[in-house]
């Protein structure tokens, strides 16, 4: 499918459903794959962590890249049974049954980026834009990684910065309705 056809179909879907451009475009492409010769989209859906490199020092950017993070490599997979968060060497799996709510977050980050845990609140971000918050009950626990200073931490709230926060919220709600 050419770029022009994708763009036109996306705009038509946006007018019909009211979805944001990124979500409508993804659905148009997946629908084309389902009806074409290609196989249907994989069950887990990938949502990239949003990054803003302005303001990051070279060492932070370099370390993030060395540890396997950075734009295009950090994100969240949404599946019917669990969510898998990945940023650099940090990984967290959240069972779908533990997610009580998912909403846009109004957290004020004051310029911090990376992976931070404090009092049960986990922040995984590369920027202050596109923040989404998940309430988790019963809480889950982080692994022992460099990002958590090798301490296992309880997580009852998860805040993510995402490129497509509205698409993520819709995917989590869809996945929850299937369970």
- pLDDT value at position 37? 46
- The pTM of the full predicted model, rounded to 2 decimals, is 0.68
The CATH fold assigned to 45-178 is PH-domain like (2.30.29)
- Region of residue 144 (phi > 0: left; psi between -120 and 50: alpha; otherwise: beta): beta
Average pLDDT of the residues in 134-148: 85
Contacts of 1 (CB under 8 A, 6+ apart): 9, 29, 32
174's enclosing H/E stretch is: helix 165-178
All CATH 2.30.29 domain ranges of the chain, comma separated, are: 45-178
- pLDDT value at position 151? 79
């Amino acid at each position: 499918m050419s770029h022009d056809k994708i763009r036109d179909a996306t705009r038509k879907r946006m007018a019909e459903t009211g979805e944001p451009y990124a979500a409508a475009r993804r659905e148009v492409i997946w629908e084309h794959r389902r009806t074409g010769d290609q196989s249907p989209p994989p069950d887990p859906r990938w949502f990239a962590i949003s990054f803003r490199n302005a303001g990051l020092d070279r060492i932070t950017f370099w370390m993030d890249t060395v540890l396997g993070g950075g734009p295009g490599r950090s994100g969240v997979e949404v599946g019917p049974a669990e969510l898998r968060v990945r940023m650099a060497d940090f990984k967290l799996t959240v069972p779908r049954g533990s997610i009580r709510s998912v909403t846009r977050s109004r957290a004020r980050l004051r310029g911090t980026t990376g992976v931070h845990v404090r009092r049960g609140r986990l922040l995984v971000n590369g920027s202050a834009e596109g923040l989404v918050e998940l309430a988790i009950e019963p809480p889950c626990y982080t692994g022992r990684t460099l990002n958590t200073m090798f301490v296992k931490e309880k997580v009852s709230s998860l805040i993510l910065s995402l490129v497509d926060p509205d698409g993520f919220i819709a995917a989590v709600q869809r996945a929850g309705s299937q369970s």
